[in-house]
Structure 1
Amino acid sequence: MSKLSIRAVSKVFGAGTTAVDSVSLDVADGELVCLLGPSGSGKSTLLRLVGGFEQPTSGTIAIDGQDVTRLPPEQRPTGMVFQSHALWSHMNVFNNLAFGLKLRKRPAAEIRDRVEGVLELVGLKGYDRRMTNELSGGQQQRVALARSLILEPKILLLDEPFASLDQHLRERLREEVRDIQLRLKITTLFVTHGQDEALSMADRIVVMQNGRTEQADRPEIIYRDPQTPFVAGFIGTMNFVDGRVENGRFVHPDLSVDMPVSDGPVTLAVRPEALDLVSTQDGAAVVHRVTDFGTHGLVDLHLSDGTRLKSLVRSPEPFRSGHAVDLRPRAFAAFRDNVKLYRSSDAA
Structure 2
Amino acid sequence: MSVLKISSVSKYFPGGTKAVDSFSLDVADGELVCLLGPSGSGKSTLLRMVGGFEDPSSGLITIDGEDITHLPPERRPTGMVFQSHALWTHMNVFDNLAFGLKLRRTGKSEIREKVEAVLDLVGLAGYGERKTHQLSGGQQQRVALARSLVLEPKILLLDEPFASLDQHLRERLREEVRDIQQRLKITTLFVTHGQDEALSMADRIVVMRDGRTEQIDRPDVVYRNPQTPFVAGFIGTMNLIDGEVAHGRFHRAGLSLDLPISDGPAILAMRPEALDLSLADQGQAVVHRVTDYGTHGLVDLDLPEAIRVKAMVDHPDRFSTGQSVNLAPRAVAAFRDGRQVFRS
How high is the TM-score relative to the length of structure 1?
Answer: 0.98
The 3 A distance-change label for structure 1 pair 94 and 253 is closer
Q: Which residue of 2 aligns with 1:82?
A: 82
Q: Which residue of 1 aligns with 2:72?
A: 72
Preserved CA contact (<8 Å) 2:253 2:307: no
SS of the residue aligned with 1:305?
A: coil
Preserved CA contact (<8 Å) 1:79 1:148: yes
Q: Which residue of 2 aligns with 1:51?
A: 51
SS of the residue aligned with 1:112?
A: helix
* 1:263-342 equivalent positions in 2, closer than 5 A: 263-342=263-342
Shift of 1:333: 0.3
d(CA) in 2 for partners of 1:295, 1:82: 35
d(CA) in 1 for partners of 2:129, 2:253: 69
SS of the residue aligned with 1:53?
A: coil
Identity among equivalent positions (%) equals: 74
Q: Which residue of 2 aligns with 1:141?
A: 141
Of 20-29 and 310-319, more deviation after overlay is shown by 310-319
The one-letter code matched in structure 2 to 1:289 is: R
Q: Which residue of 2 aligns with 1:17?
A: 17
Shift of 1:254: 1.2
The one-letter code matched in structure 1 to 2:186 is: I
Give the number of aligned pairs. 344
The one-letter code matched in structure 2 to 1:144 is: A
* 1:103-142 equivalent positions in 2, closer than 5 A: 103-142=103-142
Q: Which residue of 1 aligns with 2:223?
A: 223
Gaps of 5+ in 2: none
Shift of 1:294: 2.1
Shift of 1:243: 1.1
Q: Which residue of 2 aligns with 1:152?
A: 152
Asked whether 1:207 is paired with 2:211, we answer: no
The one-letter code matched in structure 1 to 2:15 is: A
The one-letter code matched in structure 2 to 1:295 is: T
d(CA) in 2 for partners of 1:154, 1:96: 20
Gaps of 5+ in 1: none
Per-residue deviation, residues 74-108 of structure 1 (Å, max 9, x unmatched)? 00000000000000000011110000010010111
Shift of 1:336: 1.2
Preserved CA contact (<8 Å) 1:279 1:318: no
Shift of 1:253: 3.8
Q: Which residue of 2 aligns with 1:198?
A: 198
d(CA) in 1 for partners of 2:294, 2:86: 42
d(CA) in 1 for partners of 2:141, 2:103: 22
d(CA) in 2 for partners of 1:339, 1:291: 33
d(CA) in 2 for partners of 1:295, 1:170: 21
Asked whether 1:257 is paired with 2:257, we answer: yes
The one-letter code matched in structure 2 to 1:159 is: D
Compute the RMSD of aligned alpha carbons: 0.6
Preserved CA contact (<8 Å) 2:289 2:299: yes
Preserved CA contact (<8 Å) 1:334 1:343: yes
SS of the residue aligned with 1:25?
A: strand
SS of the residue aligned with 1:317?
A: helix
Shift of 1:318: 2.4
